Copies of this chain bind each other. A is one copy, B any other.
Amino acid sequence: MIPPDHPRYRQLVVRERLARCAREGIVALEGLTAHGRAEAFDYLIGEKSTATAREAARVAAALLLLARHPVLSVNGNTAALAAAECARLQEVTGCGIEVNLFHRSEERVRRITRILEDVGASVLAGTPERLIPLQHDRALCLPGGIGSADLVLVPLEDGDRCEALRAMGRTVVTIDLNPLSRTARMATLTVVDELTRALPLITEAYRGMTRTEAEALVRGFDNHYLLQAAIAEIVRELSRALD
């Protein structure tokens, strides 16, 4: 239905996929709004991985490489947008994958698990427990998954959980297009990039990295500096639209 020569073809296809996933109950209605916010910020960075995003992705790979028990937390939007990229990250890094939802139901968990398994991912299963001090259902996680992870990679995170995980001493790596968001500022490391671009960048950086390189990257990074650089990139991009 969408003509392939439409100037925003890819974006429209992705929107349609998300709307379909919402109708099927995989993506929450609130997830569609969240995707819109991400689209706007992606527009502002020129819809490409910036130099800062590439640098942050290398640090993310280093943190993953040095983690004892890293777990990727997947919600409806992440599965709808980037299931294959999640599976590939797991294949290369060996990280655990756990489904964690704000609007949780066993049916949604099952559907999202199926999407991930269909592209070859291995998804942690078991009985979730209320292991994170939060009022809502994102508190629920698996004792052998996020519950015992030293590093949680949470694309498209909400600020509350990010803060709670940090307070529990966890390393939180997030992928968030808004460098001003509470999540971005609370995380140990924020990759300011679009999910289907960021996950492969992390995977590829991991593949070529030695432990020594990883240790140097982890010693040297400063998330505040990376966020400032990401904001400066948006300012530069916007300024180009000024006469």
Residue numbers of A with Cβ under 8 A of B are 15, 18-19, 22-23, 29-30, 32-41, 43-44, 178, 180, 228, 231-232, 234-235, 238-239, 241-243
Contacts and interface: CB of A to CB of B under 8 A. Distances in A.
A19 B28 CA distance: 9
A22 B15 contact: no
Majority-rule SS of A interface residues: helix
A48 to B, nearest CB: 16
State how many copies of this chain the complex holds. 2
A33 B36 contact: yes
Contact of A40 (B19, B22, B40, B228): B40
Given A19-B33, A32-B33, 18 more contacts: A18-B33, A19-B29, A22-B32, A29-B29, A33-B33, A33-B35, A33-B39, A36-B37, A37-B37, A37-B43, A40-B41, A43-B178, A43-B180, A180-B238, A180-B241, A228-B243, A235-B239, A238-B238
Nearest to A229: B242
Contacts of A242: 228, 231-232, 235
A37 B178 CA distance: 12
